[in-house]
Amino acid sequence: MSIILDKVNYVYSEETAYEKQALNQVSLKIEDGEFIGIIGHTGSGKSTLIQHLNGLLKATSGGIYYNGRDIYEEDYDRKELRSKVGLVFQYPEHQLFETTVFADVCFGPKNLGLSRKEAELRAFSALKSAGLPEEYWYRSPFELSGGQKRRAAIAGVLAMKPEVLILDEPTAGLDPWGREEILNQIASMHQELNMTILLVSHSMEDVAEYVKRIIVMNQGSILLDGAPKEVFLHQQKLEAAGLLVPQVTYLMQELKGRGIPVSVEVTTLKEAKEAVLQAFSNRRLG
């Protein structure tokens, strides 16, 4: 399974006074089972990009291919595409509307024409995978906390059994504890379900900790694409695009500047802890 974008352009309000190019010659390939972070400043094109991946937006020009097929072919079933490439929006309350969480999660499978029993089995499995405790399943989704709503929205998409899961700013507005819980759950789903996951975020800390590949968007184009450590080496490019490397990287640069022999390529707290302990251990031994 793969998604290929070939020189994709998208223009909002084309041929009007409000015309704006949101995507500019975007080409990339997403392989089966990847865990990718898509980052960029507000207005960089990252949200526009992900809405092309399941056909919610149609490219002004260029091609998009899912499993080798052009999704813009006349006979292509874009409804099926949206069941295979699931998108969880930034504000989950926009996706929740039923009287109970369980009914909400059942809605998608029922809409596919599945029996009530099959839809309920999918909902049960999806809610378990999303990590929402059973005590919340039969409550109104609007009684849930922000983090619980995120889990319910994720479950609603998982119940469709997608091959690709796209999450647009899934931790926006959550406190640090809620953010860590959601990200750990997403990482668990990636590992347990062997699912391709695209995590849209503006938080360098989030993507550094969890993803294996980062795509940096800037002014509608791909600025950088690679493993986190490779991307974060381009500190000046990132800062020019209004982004920062992880805070812990700045800390390690400060420590090295003060004569403590630590690597400035550290990007996570775990790596920083190990590097600092090793530096002081070497100093004692020396």
User: Does 262 fall in a domain?
Assistant: no
**Residue environment code for 269-281, b if the CB has 16+ CB neighbours within 10 A, otherwise e:** eebbeebbeebee
Provide the pLDDT for residue 171.
Answer: 85
Residue 127 CB coordination number (10 Å): 24
Provide the pLDDT for residue 180.
Answer: 87
Place of tokens 């109970």: 100
DSSP 73: S
**pTM attached to this predicted model:** 0.88
Place of tokens 């029922």: 110
User: Does 151 fall in a domain?
Assistant: yes
How far apart, in whole angstroms, are the C-alpha atoms of residue 140 and residue 96? 9
Q: What angle do CA 201, 204, 208 make, to 5 degrees?
A: 105
pLDDT below 50 — which residues of the chain? none
Residue 261 CB coordination number (10 Å): 12
Provide the pLDDT for residue 60.
Answer: 96
User: Does 277 fall in a domain?
Assistant: no
User: Does 254 fall in a domain?
Assistant: no
User: CA-based diameter of the chain, in Å?
Assistant: 71
User: Does 243 fall in a domain?
Assistant: no
Specify which residues 53 forms β-bridges with: none
Provide the pLDDT for residue 94.
Answer: 78
Contact 11, 21 (CB under 8 A): yes
Q: What angle do CA 196, 89, 246 make, to 5 degrees?
A: 70
Provide the pLDDT for residue 192.
Answer: 87
User: Does 249 fall in a domain?
Assistant: no
CATH code where residue 46 lies? 3.40.50.300
Nearest to 61 by CA among 96, 21, 3: 21
> How many separate domains does the chain show?
1
Provide the pLDDT for residue 140.
Answer: 95
Provide the pLDDT for residue 284.
Answer: 65
Measured between its terminal Cα atoms, the distance across the chain in Å is 53
User: Does 278 fall in a domain?
Assistant: no
User: Does 270 fall in a domain?
Assistant: no
Give the domain extent around 170: 2-226
